[in-house]
A and B are shown apart, each in its own frame.
Chain A
């Protein structure tokens, strides 16, 4: 097991390194000179040259990559061209928007999907199943940014329950912050919930057909107890897989939603940095995001082993 895990960690580091090379090279392909963007339309050539020198843009490619990745490895992500502050400092407050948003969306997704999926499985073929799965089928198809617009239309403009957009800021208290994240979290979470509910349903149905569940039922356990104590826990593996995938998606899938709701999150920071050619910020953030996706996938794999001992012995082979 230990050998398996350390092998996985090595491949994790290598993949992240490869990702950093890809991102760095992509940045070099971006047309437009970061220095020219900062100096605007009246800049003179020597002014531009001076700024490029200060930004280190005149150094060779390899030198720039090595100095960036060397800092990256020890947690120094560089200094933003646009803001002239360390990227880690820039990232902190953004993560404090994006991460709670992703967690809330996740909570909504799981909170809605598990009960609905199990309910539908237990009532397979009946009206409740057909109705809930019909709704899920439609909900899967709704693009989250459009759902965001509809939620704004209904809950912010008509009912005025929530702010239409913007982020209140945690320094104004917990509730104003959460309140401004509720609509975006719903927009992100509900379509995911629909996917998850469908997966949960079929996983539970499959588990209900397994021998040990029938045995439990035969031993006189109630339908309800069988469903929740035996079938559902055994249906968790595919469900966890999807949750892991969804979390990877949420890490960066918030870009568009952050645009819809004008939230100062990580996705918007990346987006703005691309537009302003703040290349160092883009490459650091994208590499961090890729690394976090890689880590989450790794954790999901570990969770398999924990949930299903058969798999971990298989993995340790």
Chain B
């Protein structure tokens, strides 16, 4: 069993590349705590707007800050906001979806109608309104993006667990008098966790883009904390004179999202036997 899994891991090129890129991003984010080539927040007006060089790999910005150091620190910001946003989505969405599937009827209908309602609002628009209400900033961006993950996880949890409730082993557990909560914890969740893990990876990637988008329009992470989206926003003014300011943060976002997407695809191949058979 373990050997088989290992083989399929090795055979999944997507998973390996995805793991490598994501690992690189995480490593960059962690290293930024103890070391960056220069200070990501220290101003140095004298060396502003320098093109990439050996001293400043990605050049410097309008305040003379080292772009490479900012990209490194920005990785932590991007990852942390996204992790929390996905955690918020899972934390609220999975129980709601599980509840809907377990109880059915009115509760199911109510939860699913609320879901439809949430899906009707364009995600970014509502995130903009939410940050306008609670003020811009990383914490509120986490909440705003997290809220959008709730219906996603609720729907996927409900969909994946609905069929399980009619399976014999669950019926047997019910007959044995076990509570819905206990059944959900011991039988339902373990059987759908592969679906959730794959979805979490996808949502993680979407959250990174969403955080960058919010920061780009000035509503996400705030200075002096470097963030990729904010860097792109600043870069736009200087795009004639300093195109490097626009290139590197965007590359970082793309790479992070690519890594997570590949990881998600790879995990699906490995964890979901149905998909593996189809390939």
Q: Which residues of A contact B (CB under 8 A)?
A: 11, 15-16, 18-19, 22, 26, 29-31, 137-138, 140-143, 145-146, 149-150, 152-153, 157, 206, 248-249, 251-253, 255-256, 259-260, 267, 270-271, 274-275, 282, 286, 289-291, 293-294, 297
Q: Quick check: A143 and B124 within 8 Å, CB to CB?
A: no
Do A146 and B250 touch across chains, with their CB atoms under 8 A apart?
A: yes
A interface: dominant SS: helix
* Residue among B117, B122, B130, B205 with max Cβ neighbours from chain A (10 Å): B122
Contacts of B278 in A (CB 8 A): 206
Q: How far is the CB of B254 from chain A (nearest CB, A)?
A: 5
Query: Is the C-beta of B243 less than 8 angstroms from some C-beta in chain A?
Result: yes
Q: If A153-B239, A255-B128, A256-B213 touch, does A141 touch B258 (CB 8 Å cutoff)?
A: yes
| Contact A289–B125 (Cβ < 8 Å) | yes
B129 contacts the other chain (CB 8 A): yes
Q: A138-B258, A149-B239 are in contact. Are A249 and B122 (CB under 8 A)?
A: yes
Q: Which residues of A contact B120 (CB under 8 A)?
A: 15-16, 19, 290-291, 293-294
| A and B contact pairs by CB, cutoff 8 A, 6 listed | A30-B133, A149-B236, A149-B250, A251-B122, A293-B120, A293-B121
* B258/A30 in contact, CB under 8 A: no
Cβ of B154 under 8 Å from chain A: no
- Interface hits, B100-139 → A, CB 8 Å: 113, 116-117, 119-122, 124-125, 128-130, 132-133
- Complex CA gap A200/B129 in Å reads 35
Shortest Cβ distance from A281 into chain B, in angstroms?
A: 13
> Taking chain B's interface residues, is the majority helix, strand, or loop, or is none over half, making it mixed?
helix
Tell me the minimal C-beta distance from B171 to chain A in angstroms: 25
Residue B31 CB within 8 A of the other chain:
no
With A137-B262, A157-B239 known as contacts, the answer to whether A286 contacts B246 (CB < 8 A) is no
Q: Is there contact, CB below 8 Å, between A290 and B132?
A: no
Question: In the complex where A18-B117, A26-B133 touch, is A146 in contact with B254 (Cβ < 8 A)?
Answer: yes
Give Cα A168 to B134, complex, Å: 36
User: Contacts of B98 on A, CB cut-off 8 Å?
Assistant: none
Beyond A15-B117, A18-B117, 10 extra complex contacts between A and B, CB < 8 Å: A15-B113, A143-B254, A146-B249, A149-B235, A152-B239, A253-B122, A255-B128, A293-B120, A293-B121, A294-B120
Judging by beta carbons under 8 Å apart, are B254 and A141 in contact? yes
B122-A274 in contact (CB<8A): no
Closest residue to A286 on the B side, CB-wise? Answer: B125
* C-alpha spacing A157/B257, complex, angstroms: 27
* Complex interface: chain B residues within 8 A of A153 (CB): 239, 243, 246
Query: Distance (Å) between the CB of A260 and the closest chain B CB?
Result: 7
